[in-house]
Structure 1
Amino acid sequence: VFITGRDEQKLSQIAKANNIPESQAFSLDITDAQAVAKLADTIHGQIGQLDILINAAGIGYLNSFEKTEAEVFSQLIDVNLKGAFHLMRYFLPPMKEAKKGLVINIPGVLGRAPMAGAAAYSASKYGLNGMVKSIREELKRTEVRITNLYLGGVDSDFWDNIDMRVNRDKFINAKEAGRAVWFLCQQPTSGVVSEMVIQPFNHQVI
């Protein structure tokens, strides 16, 4: 198991809590294509192709379109869309060559359904959704499985800096979201779960 993250302190804590050696925990900015390429070379040099790539990286932002600055919009695209592009660009080729592997992306429900105040965020996630579906079409004959996980309202750090009245007690627990990812990882290779949707009862948008 290899893990990456922007926050080195949090990354170290997660690695220790899950008995992951520090040599398998990498500080990474997924907006940096060269850094992603270097990491891919390092991991591929150790184990060959990854069996599973989980792209759970992303940033959140909710605000009216008129109050959304161009800089914020660009940052959302850079992390949520371009970051995913870099990861798949450098980790998919060995999977394709081996004709096996699983890639899980998490566009979230706002990658499929609009919401007031989410124009910029949804743009990044709709883009991710479309890109991943197109890649899936290219890989149909390779047996590399591509899954989109649409999560709605997960109680996570996403909401810490968002100025919106929400009842996080009614949200999906982060551990439940993690169990959904683990479920996808355990599915037989004879088929593919193309999409999975998990939403809170009080906020079903799909």
Structure 2
Amino acid sequence: MAVEMLANKRVLIIGATGGIGSEAAKLIAGSKARLYLAGRDADKLKAVADACKVPHDHTFQMDVADAASVQSVADQLHQELGQLDILINAAGVGYLKKFENIELDDFSRLIDINLKGAFIVMQAFLPPMKDAKKGLIINIPGVLGKAPMAAAAAYAASKYGLNGMVKSLREELKRTQVRLTNLYLGGVDSAFWDDIDMPVNRDKFISAQEAGRAVWFLCQQPTSGVVSEMVIQPFNHQVI
């Protein structure tokens, strides 16, 4: 059934070189979608494309914080496809630090990528969806986009902002069939934790494979409805 629902759907994954994006890409590619991949690292992007058997001309080196870079990709895809059926924004950066240890440059980078980047991406790819009055956009604010946590002031600021932006945009799109989904993942065993100086038991976290499967599942929403939000957390990490 999943293959039937996604077959020939025009899907772009932004942040395809990350743990969640790359795992989602494998499943979506296996569902016979017309899959396109974007990411900052050209070598990693090629590796993901090869693993998913996605043609290299379906890949785009892109920085979500660079509006010109994003718009160039959007223009190319819209010229070729007309519009996307599904846009998945899996791009993001993060760290956890006590408030007094947060550097201003680091704070700005979180806002630039996690919040402004999502703004730039949706402004570039949304107009053809609005014109067609259909489409699906999936963002991943994570649980720190709706629940507080010590040492997460900077990261949560970027993700709470994303949460609020998407919910407000949803109000603007009510007269269309453009659907917006927020995926709140908590405790995913990904590269996010590699440099975090905090005692955590990653063995009990959600695997990147299961997080990718959640994205793949959300791509199969029926046209008669929408999953506005989905929350997935480890049992030992439940905060919502």
- Equivalent residue runs for 1:65-76 within 5 Å: 65-76=99-110
Residue 151 (structure 2) aligns with: 117
TM superposition shift of 1:157? 1.0
Q: Using the aligned pairs only, state the percent identity.
A: 72
1:86 to 120, 127, 130: 120
Q: How far 1:52 moved relative to its partner? A: 0.2
| 1:170 alignment partner in structure 2 | 204
Paired position in structure 2 for 1:128: 162
**C-alpha separation in 1, matches of 2:197 and 2:92:** 18
Q: Tell me the alpha carbon deviations over residues 71-112 of structure 1, each in whole angstroms, 9 at most, x when there is no partner.
A: 000000000000000110010000010010000000000000
Structure 2 partner of 1:158: 192
- Which residue identity lines up with residue 87 of structure 1 in the other structure? V
Q: How many angstroms apart in 2 are the aligned matches of 1:51 and 1:64?
A: 41
Q: Is residue 145 of structure 1 aligned with residue 179 of structure 2?
A: yes
Aligned AA (1:45) = Q
Q: State the Cα distance separating 1:144 from its structure 2 match.
A: 0.3
Question: Where does residue 47 of structure 1 map in the other structure?
Answer: 81
Counterparts of 1:104 and 1:200 in 2: how far apart (Å)?
Answer: 21
TM-score (norm 2): 0.85
How far off its partner does 1:163 sit?
Answer: 1.4
Regions of 4+ moved over 4 Å:
none
Distance in 2, Cα, partners of 1:36 & 1:152: 28
**Helix, strand or coil for the counterpart of 1:2?**
strand
> What amino acid sits opposite 1:138 in the alignment?
E
Q: May I ask how many residue pairs the two structures share in their alignment?
A: 206
Q: Counterpart of 2:167 in structure 1: which amino acid?
A: K
Q: Which residue is 2:7 aligned to?
A: none
- Cα distance in 2, alignment partners of residues 158 and 149 from structure 1: 17
- Superposed CA RMSD: 0.6
User: Which of 225, 228, 233 matches 1:194?
Assistant: 228
Question: Within 2, Cα distance between the matches of 1:11 and 1:172?
Answer: 23
Correspondent of 1:96 among 119, 127, 130: 130
Q: Is there any run of 5+ residues in structure 1 with no aligned partner, and where?
A: none
